[in-house]
Amino acid sequence: MSARPFIVAIDGPAGAGKSSVSKLLARRLGFSLVDTGAIYRCVALMARREGIASDDDARLGELLSRVHIHFQVVGEENRVFLGGQDVSGEIRTPDISMAASQVSGRPVVRAGLLQLQRRLALESEKGAILEGRDIGTVVFPDADAKFFLAASPEVRARRRYEELFQKGVESTLESVLADQTKRDRDDSARAVAPLKAADDAVHVDSSSTPLSEVVHGMESEILRRMAQRA
Question: Binding site residues for ATP, as ranges?
Answer: 12-20
Report how far residue 92's alpha carbon sits from residue 10's, in angstroms, rounded to the nearest whole number: 19
Report how far residue 127's alpha carbon sits from residue 35's, in angstroms, rounded to the nearest whole number: 14
Q: How many residues does the chain have?
A: 230
H/E stretch holding 33? strand 32-35
Report how far residue 90's alpha carbon sits from residue 42's, in angstroms, rounded to the nearest whole number: 9
Q: Could you tell me which residues come within 8 angstroms of residue 189 by beta carbon, excluding any fewer than 6 positions away?
A: none
Question: Measured on CA atoms in the order 156, 158, 161, 165, is the torsion positive or negative?
Answer: negative
- Binding-site residues sit at 12-20
- Rounded to the nearest 10°, the torsion over CA 100, 80, 24, 11 is 20
Residue 144 is classified by DSSP as S
Answer whether 87's CB lies under 8 Å from 45's CB.
yes
Report in angstroms the alpha-carbon separations of 102 from 51, 139, 150: 15, 19, 21
Question: Measured on CA atoms in the order 198, 33, 98, 115, is the torsion positive or negative?
Answer: negative
